Amino acid sequence: MTDRVPYLTSRLQGFGTTIFAEMSALASRTGAVNLGQGFPDYEGPPEVLDAAVAAIRDGHNQYPPGRGVPALREAIARHQQRFWGLAYDPDTEILVTAGATEAIAAACLALCEPGDEVVVLEPTYDSYQASIAMAGARPVFVRLEPPGYRLDAAALAAAVTPRTRLLLINSPHNPTGTVLDRDELAAVADVAVEHDLVVVTDEVYEHLVFDGAEHVPLAALPGMRDRTVTISSGGKTFNTTGWKIGWVCAPPALVTAVTTAKQFLTYVNGGPFQPAIAAGLGLPDAYFRDLAAGLATQRDLLCAGLESAGFGVFRPQGTYFVTVDIRPLRADGDGMAFCRELPERCGVVAVPNQVFYADPATGRHLVRFSFAKRPAVLEEAVARLGKLVP
Ligand code: PMP
Ligand code: GLN
C-alpha cells in the first residue's frame, strides 16, 4: 500500500497519479519512444480536423446544449444504426460527455449507492476503480486469465451477490485486447437478465478489431437494449484523444439518470469539437475499415518485434495495445521496475499491467505496449527492444 496522502479523502487513498501520466512524463524527460500511454502519433481524418477549425471560426465557442449538440447526437444515432443495427432516439437516448471517462464516472455516480458492488473485468482500466470508489461503491473482479484472456462465464455468475448494482464491461478490452465473442456476451446478458442488473459497457475501441474478429455491442443481445448503458468516444476512432468527446446511448430513464450526475461534473465540453466528431461519424465505411487495417499492420509489426526480442506475446484481437510477459527477459518478473528502467536501458516506454490489478502481484510480470504509432516509430522501438539482453 502506498503512503497516506494528506487531505485526500479515504475513498481516494491509494489511487496516486495515473500510470499514464507517470510514464508519459518519463518519456518526455528521457526522449524515449512512448509506447506507454495509448494515443496515436498521427492525425485524424482531415474532414474531422477541418470541421473543428470551421466550427471555431463559425462561432461554436460557447456552451453547447447540456446533452450535446443536436448534429452530434443525430450522428451518434445514425452510427449506432449503421454499424450495429441499434436504434436510439437522439433527443432522449443519447448524451454527449467529456470523453468516455466522464461517462463512466457519471454512470457510477448516478447508478450506485454507497456500499453497492460493481462487477468489473480484471485487468481493469484504471479509471473504473476510481469512479467506483468516488461513488462509494466497491469493485468485484472477474479475472480474464492469460494466455487467452477469455471471460469465464462461471466466474462471472459467481461474482454476483445481492449487493451487485452494475456490471461494468469493456470490449474490446484494454489492456488485454480481448474482443468478447457472442458466447461471452451471452453469458453477460444471462447474468444481467437473471439478476435484473444494469450493464455499463465501455466500447471505445469498437472500431479497432482485427483478424475478422467481430465487435458486437452488448445492447444488441436479446433482453439487453433496455438495461444497457453503452459508452464510446471519438478519441480512438478519429485519433483525437485530446478532444474528449464521448457519449452514452441508453434508454431514456438511464440517460436521464446519468445526465443528472454528468451535468454537475463538467456540465458540457468541447463545443467546436462536437460537430467535428459528428462529421467523423458520418465518414464512409472505408474510413473505419482502413483504420482497423492500418492498426492490424502496426500490431503485426510490434508483435513480431516483441517476439523476436524474446517477450512472451499475447496477441490482441482488438484495441491498440499488446500485453507481454517479461519473464524471459527479466527473471524476477518485476514489470514496474522493468518499465521504470526501460527508457534508460533502450529508449522505450511501456506501462506495467500490475496497475490494472487489485492485487498488483497478479499482473507483476506483464507489461503493455501501444502500437498506435507510425510504422517507422514502431520499427525504431522494435530495433531498440531487440538490443535488450536478458
Ligand atoms: N475506456 C477505456 C477502456 C480506455 O482505454 C480509455 C482510454 N482512452 C477510456 C475509456 C477513456 O476514453 P476518453 O479519452 O474518451 O475519456
Ligand atoms: N486510455 C489510454 C490508455 O489506456 C490512456 C488514457 C489516459 O491517459 N487516461 O493508455
Quick: pLDDT tens for 194-251. 999 999 999 999 999 999 999 999 999 999 999 999 999 999 999 999 999 999 999 9
CA of 387 to the centre of ligand 1 (A): 32
What percentage of the chain carries pLDDT values higher than 70? Answer: 99
Residue 363 has pLDDT above 90, yes or no: yes
Kindly state the average pLDDT of the residues 94-122: 98
Pick from 39, 41, 204 the residue to mutate for probing ligand 2's pocket: most ligand atoms within 8 Å of its CB.
Answer: 39
Task: Output the residue whose Cα is nearest ligand 2's atom 8.
Answer: 20
Query: Are β-strands 94-98 and 245-249 bridged in parallel, bridged antiparallel, or unpaired?
Result: antiparallel
Give residue for cell 458540457.
268
Confidence bin at 80 (pLDDT 50/70/90): very high
At residue 287, φ and ψ (nearest 5 deg) are -60, -45
Task: Output the residue whose Cα is nearest ligand 2's atom 2.
Answer: 38
Which of residues 301 and 390 earns the better pLDDT score? Answer: 301
Give residue for cell 452510427.
79
Pick from 72, 121, 125 the residue to mutate for probing ligand 1's pocket: most ligand atoms within 8 Å of its CB.
Answer: 125
Give per-residue pLDDT as tens, 115-150.
999 999 999 999 999 999 999 999 999 999 999 999
Residue ranges lining ligand 1, Cβ < 6 Å: 38, 99-101, 125, 170, 174, 202, 204, 233, 235, 241, 244, 246
Quick one: pLDDT at residue 3?
Answer: 79
297 lines ligand 2 (CB under 6 A): no
At residue 39, φ and ψ (nearest 5 deg) are -155, 145
Q: Provide the 8-state DSSP code for 248.
A: E
Quick one: pLDDT at residue 389?
Answer: 78
Residues contacting 201, CB < 8 A, separation 6+: 168, 169, 170, 171, 217, 218, 219, 228, 229, 230, 231
Task: Count CA atoms within 13 Å of residue 97 on its CB side.
Answer: 29
- Element (DSSP H or E) covering residue 368: strand 366-370
Quick one: pLDDT at residue 291?
Answer: 98
Q: Do residues 52 and 272 touch, judged by C-beta distance below 8 A?
A: yes
CA of 38 to the centre of ligand 2 (A): 5
Residue 313 has pLDDT above 60, yes or no: yes
Quick one: pLDDT at residue 17?
Answer: 83
Mean pLDDT of the chain: 97
Kindly state the average pLDDT of the residues 149-162: 98
Residue 1 has pLDDT above 80, yes or no: no
Distances in Å between the alpha carbon of 59 and those of 52, 55, 56, 266, 273? 11, 6, 5, 21, 12
Confidence bin at 2 (pLDDT 50/70/90): low
Maximum Cα interatomic distance, the chain, rounded to a whole number of Å: 58
d(CA 140, CA 366): 21
Quote the pTM value. Answer: 0.97
Give per-residue pLDDT as tens, 249-299.
999 999 999 999 999 999 999 999 999 999 999 999 999 999 999 999 999
Q: Do residues 375 and 37 touch, judged by C-beta distance below 8 A?
A: no
DSSP track, 125-177? -HHHHHHHHHTT-EEEEEEPBTTTTB--HHHHHHH--TTEEEEEEESSPTTT-
